[in-house]
Chains A and B, each alone.
Chain A
Amino acid sequence: MPDGALPVLDVRDLKTVFQTRGGEVHAVNDVSFSLKPGELLGVVGESGSGKSVTMMSLLGLLPSPPADIRSGTVQFDGKDLLNVTPEQLRSVRGGKIGFVFQDPMTSLNPVYQVGFQIMEPLRKHMGMNKRQAAARAQELLELVGIPDAKQRLDDYPHQFSGGMRQRVMIAIALACDPQVLIADEPTTALDVTIQAQILELMKDLRDKLGMAVIWITHDLGVIAGIADRVMVMYGGQVVEHAPVQALFGDPQHPYTRALLKTIPSIQGERAARLTIIEGQPPIMAGAPTSCPFRDRCDVAFDRCAVENPPRYDLGDGHDAACFYNARTGGPRDA
């Protein structure tokens, strides 16, 4: 890492394949990224781009079969998470790596009080007794901004609103002071005003606790407001990766450029017509032998059909997987 700090999480060449009746689906293809302490990495992509599967693969959350992690390494805390016993992995999950899921309605157990659900990881991972865990659970609920924390510990999930339930989920994920928090579309199921509350909360917590965060979303607006670096995924691959300003100010991959153009804004000029990306996302059967975005790309040329572009380093922490050089307006050298 040029910035000195060692990454807390380092993923190299991760490849996940699903065996289905219709054949293999290559959901994640050679995905590499790293995460520095205290950093917020945004991961954007449409549904099916492999962003959630990537994160679930590295935590061993995918059932196998059908999932098969073909290759890759995930360095975390001096270990390769793809190469540890299930017990070791279990102690990492919910412990040093916290996870917040998309749907706060279904990821809490409806028959247990939320206090119990927050205390569970504390007792499992931190070896706390009931009283210590209860005190810590109350602290956590206060931390995520739930009023009357002490009383609310005895409430059941249905007694909380959507935004409050997502706060409870965040409290559970934060319970064991994680070094890394993975948030998979944590605000997608929420209303915009509640989403704004959760985004503020996450920014606060990150500054306060100094953990690294991976924020998965399909909403570029959310990313713009919260991320330090952004990784754009398409067809199971990382197509562009850059610091947030550079990604929005100087996008290099045709997919990123098209994506930025399709979203209308509530500020600035109102376009008479929305720009669209023609066609459909790719079906990822078989290992990729060409650029996955080729069919929808406006600058594709012959080479894109026969070779899958690697990620070209463009300097300043910016890279893009494209044979077309947007800066010179011509093909890249071989």
Chain B
Amino acid sequence: MLDSGKKPLVSVKDLKMHFPIHAGLLRRRVGEVKAVDGVSFDVFDGETLGLVGESGCGKSTCGRAVLRLYDITSGSIEIDNREIGTTPQTDLREMRPTMQMVFQDPQASLNPRMTVEDIIKEPLDEHTTGTDAEKREKVGELMDAVGLNRKFAKRYPHAFSGGQRQRIGIARALALNPKFIVCDEPIAALDVSIQAQVVNLLEDLQEQFGLTYLFISHDLSMVRHIATRVAVMYLGKIVELAPREGLYAAPLHPYTKALLSAVPEPDPSLARTTERIILKGDVPSPSNPPEGCNFCTRCPAVMDICKRVEPEYREVQPGRFTACHLYNGTNDTAG
């Protein structure tokens, strides 16, 4: 790593998560959906790694797999110097306090029959010892931290708005003083004016508690705001990973270029002059990805080699990784 001063808190190597497809009378295994297909990245202590991509690219699966909410197909995941890639689920339980998740849909991820206090207290009951009064005090502190009024502790989730519900989810994730939080589209279900409130809250909490985030989102402009480094996924693979400024100013991979140019610009004079790269067609099925580079069916800069050989994911500039033949030194057509 270039940045030898910082140590990675999370280190993922060649992570694969394939889901089997069963079909026919005997439910035989006829294939697999390669939702995450060989992904490697590090998340440094205290940073926010943005993980972006379109729906179905595997970004959420990747986030869940990193926390071992799935039994992964292969690969290694090291969190806080402990390898958890193959740890059995029962042993993982003890490690859960260090790694938590904030889910996309604040409505679906909160139990409607539990009060807010019970929801936030549940991880404390599960993992800590202490009197009920101590736990209640902790719940109050957490509610303060996420900007919820303590008076509402006895209410049920339905009494809260979407933004407030997301705050409850964040308070629950913070309850056990985690180091690493996977935020899976935490703002996608919220209105624009509320999104900014939640993003600012996440940033404040990061500073206050020294948290490390993996921030999964399809909103490229919000990721530009919150992330330190950004990884772009396409069809189960990371196609580019770079520091924020570099990625947005000068994207390397043709897919990143197209993705950035497709983001609607909220300024009419800029919007009408910006040259858009309109990609043709749709994303291929992850159960039957194309040969060679996954992006070769839609790539505006496709070459012959792309349809035969899968490009290697490598560091092409200091700190910048991409998987594209255009940046392959050995390929003379890259000129």
Chain A interface (Cβ within 8 Å of chain B)? Answer: 46-47, 161-164, 191-197, 199-200, 218-225, 244-245, 248-249, 258-260, 262-267, 270-271, 273-278, 280-281
Contact = CB atoms under 8 A, between A and B. Distances in A.
A124 B55 CA distance: 37
Contact of B265 (A225, A244, A277): A225
Given A193-B54, A197-B279, A265-B266, A275 B191 contact: no
B191 A47 contact: yes
15 contacts: A191-B54, A194-B54, A194-B282, A195-B264, A223-B266, A225-B268, A263-B266, A264-B221, A264-B224, A265-B266, A266-B260, A266-B263, A278-B197, A280-B194, A281-B193
Interface stretch (B112-120, B138-146, B270-278): B270-278
Contact of A221 (B218, B258, B260, B266): B266
Given A192-B218, A193-B258, A266 B192 contact: no
Interface-centre pick from B163, B193, B203 (highest chain A CB count, 10 A): B193
Interface string B248-273: 10000000001111111111111110
A280 B221 contact: no
Interface of B: 54-55, 161, 163, 191-197, 199-200, 203, 218, 220-222, 224-225, 248, 258-272, 276, 278-279, 282
B161 A265 contact: no
Given A266-B221, A281-B191, A248 B278 contact: no
Contact of A259 (B192, B270, B272): B192
B225 A271 contact: yes
> Of A47, A200, A260, which is in contact with the most chain B CB atoms at under 10 Å from its CB?
A47
Contact of B225 (A248, A274, A281): A274
A191 B258 CA distance: 12
B264 A222 contact: yes
Contacts of B194: 280
B205 to A, nearest CB: 14
A224 B225 contact: no
A273 B200 contact: yes
A271 B199 CA distance: 13
Given A46-B191, A264-B224, A221 B263 contact: yes
A262 B55 CA distance: 24
Contacts of A162: 55
Contacts of A265: 221, 265-267
B23 to A, nearest CB: 16
B215 to A, nearest CB: 13
A164 B224 contact: no
Given A46-B191, A281-B191, A192 B220 contact: yes
Contacts of B258: 193
Most-contacted residue by chain A among B161, B196, B259, B261 (CB, 10 A): B196
A195 B221 contact: no
A192 B196 contact: no
B199 A274 contact: yes
Contacts of B195: 262
Contacts of B269: 245, 248-249
B278 A197 contact: yes
A273 B266 contact: no
A192 B193 CA distance: 20
Nearest to A280: B161
A266 B268 contact: no
B32 to A, nearest CB: 20
A46 to B, nearest CB: 4
A262 B163 contact: no
Contact of A46 (B192, B221, B267): B192
A266 B54 contact: no
A211 to B, nearest CB: 21
B282 A161 contact: yes
Contacts of B264: 192, 195, 199, 219, 221-222, 224-225
A288 to B, nearest CB: 19
Contacts of B265: 221, 224-225, 265-267
- 5 residue pairs, one from A and one from B, having the closest CB atoms: A221-B264, A191-B54, A196-B262, A225-B271, A277-B193
Contacts of A46: 191-193
A274 B97 CA distance: 30
B284 to A, nearest CB: 10
Nearest to B201: A276
B288 to A, nearest CB: 14
A262 B265 CA distance: 14
Contacts of B222: 264
